[in-house]
């Protein structure tokens, strides 16, 4: 199906977002949190490792993560608007990709729901 390769693309883009944010923190003289064991203490968007391999569950988990990321990047874009053009542009660019991810996932979930409804019709 198209979902697996697209989710791999999403994951690659998420890694690129992390690199952009780390680079920007360093450019601004900050120290990024690089130890994964420390991330849960500082992250506002918690990572929930998939425990159920069912595609709908994985998509719902991903959708939750995308929506949290969208909120955070909106906050960063709003906060830096008119103050820090570089960070604002970075946050806006990432935000737009996160919105695309959200739409992809919503579309897949809609397709899955339609398929389940079609299966129910055939069983009746």
What's the whole-model pTM score? 0.90
For the stretch 11-17, contacts whose Cβ atoms lie closer than 8 Å and that sit 24 or more positions apart, written own/partner, are: 13/97, 13/101, 17/94, 17/97
Query: What contacts 15, CB < 8 A, 6 or more positions away?
Result: none
Residue-level pLDDT at 124: 66
What integer pLDDT is reported at residue 122 of this predicted model?
Answer: 83
Spell out the per-residue pLDDT of the chain, length 124, in tens: 688 899 999 999 999 999 999 999 999 999 999 998 998 899 888 888 888 888 999 999 999 999 999 999 999 999 999 999 999 999 999 999 999 999 999 999 999 999 999 998 887 6
Domains of the chain, start order: 3-123 (1.20.1260.10)
pLDDT at 123: 76
pLDDT of residue 121: 86
Angle at 112 between CA 110 and CA 113, to 5 degrees: 65
pLDDT of residue 109: 97
Task: Report the pLDDT value the prediction gives residue 1, as an integer from 0 to 100.
Answer: 66
């Amino acid at each position: 199906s198209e979902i697996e390769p697209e989710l791999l693309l999403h994951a690659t883009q998420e890694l690129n977002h992390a690199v952009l944010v780390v680079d920007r923190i360093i450019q601004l003289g900050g120290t990024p949190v690089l130890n994964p064991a420390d991330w849960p203490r500082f992250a506002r968007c918690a990572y929930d490792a998939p425990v159920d391999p069912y595609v709908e569950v994985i998509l719902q988990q991903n959708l939750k993560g995308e929506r949290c990321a969208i909120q955070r990047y909106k906050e960063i874009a709003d906060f830096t608007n008119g103050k820090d053009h570089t960070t604002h542009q970075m946050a806006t660019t990432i935000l737009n990709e996160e919105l695309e991810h959200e739409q992809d996932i919503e579309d897949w979930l809609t397709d899955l729901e339609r398929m389940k409804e079609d299966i129910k019709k055939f069983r009746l």
